[in-house]
Amino acid sequence: MKVVITDPIDDAGIERLRKSGHDVETAYDLTGESLRSAVGDANALIVRSGTEVTDGLFEAAPDLVIVGRAGIGVDNIDIDAATDHGVIVANAPEGNVRAAAEHTVAMAFAAARSIPQAHARLKAGEWAKSDYLGTELNGKILGIVGLGRVGQEVAKRLDGLGMDLVAYDPYISQERAGRLGAELVELDACLESADFLTVHTPLTPETENMISTDELDLMGGGFVINCARGGVVDEDALAAAVERGTLDGAAIDVFAEEPVSPDSPLVDVDEVIVTPHLGASTEAAQENVATSIADQVDAAFAGEPVMNALNAPSVDESAFPRIRPYIGLAETAGIIAAQLLDGRISEIEVAYEGEIADEEVDLVTASGLKGVFEPLEWQVNAVNAPQIATDRGIDVTESKRLQSDDFQSVVTVRVGNDDDSLEVSGTLFAGGDPRIVRIGGYRVDAVPHGKMLVARNADKPGVLGFIGSVLGDHDINISGMFNSRRDEPGGEALTVYNLDDPVPDSAVETILDDDRMIDVRYLTLNGDE
Ligand SMILES: NC(=O)C1=CN([C@@H]2O[C@H](COP(=O)(O)OP(=O)(O)OC[C@H]3O[C@@H](n4cnc5c(N)ncnc54)[C@H](O)[C@@H]3O)[C@@H](O)[C@H]2O)C=CC1
Ligand SMILES: O=C(O)C(=O)COP(=O)(O)O
DSSP string, 169-198: -TTS-HHHHHHTTEEE--HHHHHHH-SEEE
Gap from CA of 442 to ligand 1 centroid (Å): 53
The pLDDT value recorded for residue 377 is 62
pLDDT value, residue 490: 76
DSSP secondary structure string for all residues of 480-497 = EEEEEEESSTTSEEEEEE
Dihedral, CA of residue 153, residue 155, residue 160 and residue 165, to nearest 10: 180
Tens-place pLDDT, residues 43-60:
999 999 999 999 999 999
Strands (E), 37-115: 44-47, 66-69, 88-91
pLDDT value for 90:
96
> 379: pLDDT confidence band, cut at 50, 70 and 90?
low
Kindly list the protein residues whose Cβ atom lies closer than 6 A to any atom of ligand 1: 72-73, 93, 96-97, 100, 145-151, 168-172, 200-203, 206-207, 227-229, 253-254, 277, 279-280
Q: Which CATH superfamily is domain 97-274 in?
A: NAD(P)-binding Rossmann-like Domain (3.40.50.720)
Whether 370 is in the pocket of ligand 2, judged by its Cβ within 6 Å, is no
Average pLDDT across the chain, whole number: 95
How far apart are the C-alpha atoms of 366 and 382, rounded to whole Å?
5
Percent of the chain with pLDDT over 70: 99
The stretch 193-213 carries a mean pLDDT of 97
Cα separation values, 172 from 72, 156, 177, 191, 449, Å = 19, 16, 7, 18, 49
pLDDT band at 378 (very low <50, low <70, confident <90, very high): low
Residue 377 appears among annotated catalytic residues: no
Q: Which CATH homologous superfamily contains domain 320-524? A: D-3-phosphoglycerate dehydrogenase; domain 3 (3.30.1330.90)
Q: Per mean pLDDT, which range of 24-38, 218-232, 270-284, 427-441 is the poorest?
A: 427-441
Q: How far is the CA of 168 from the centre of ligand 2 (A)?
A: 23
Using 50, 70 and 90 to split pLDDT, how confident is the model at 214?
very high
Cite the residue boundaries of each domain of the chain with CATH code 3.40.50.720. 2-95+284-301, 97-274
Range of lowest pLDDT (51-60, 175-184, 190-199, 377-386): 377-386
In the chain, how many H helices and how many E strands?
A: 18, 22
244-258, 284-298, 378-392: range with lowest mean pLDDT: 378-392
Per-residue DSSP letter, 64: -
**Pocket probe mutation, ligand 2, options 29, 46, 47, 48, max atoms within 8 Å of Cβ:** 48
Tell me how far apart the alpha carbons of residues 301 and 288 are, in angstroms, rounded to a whole number. 20
Q: Is 280 in the pocket of ligand 2 (CB under 6 A)?
A: yes
Q: Specify the higher pLDDT residue, 51 or 220.
A: 51
In sequence order, the 6+-apart residues with CB closer than 8 A to the CB of 155 are 142, 144, 147, 165, 167, 180, 181, 182
Report the pLDDT value the prediction gives residue 193, as an integer from 0 to 100. Answer: 98
Closest CA to 70 of 274, 308, 313, 286: 286
Which pLDDT score, from 0 to 100, does residue 303 have? 84
**Is residue 314 over pLDDT 80?**
no
CA distances 342 to 416, 418, 521, Å, are 9, 11, 11
**437: pLDDT strictly greater than 70:** yes
- pLDDT category at 463 given cuts 50, 70, 90 is very high
pLDDT band per the 50, 70, 90 thresholds, residue 506: very high
**Nearest residue (CA) to ligand 1, atom 3:** 279
Determine what percent of the chain falls in helix, strand and coil, rounding each to the nearest 5. Answer: 35, 25, 40
Query: How many angstroms does the Cα of residue 270 sit away from the middle of ligand 2?
Result: 25
Q: Return residue ranges of the chain for CATH 3.30.1330.90.
A: 320-524
The highest-level CATH class for domain 2-95+284-301 is alpha beta
The whole-number average pLDDT for the span 504-528 is 91
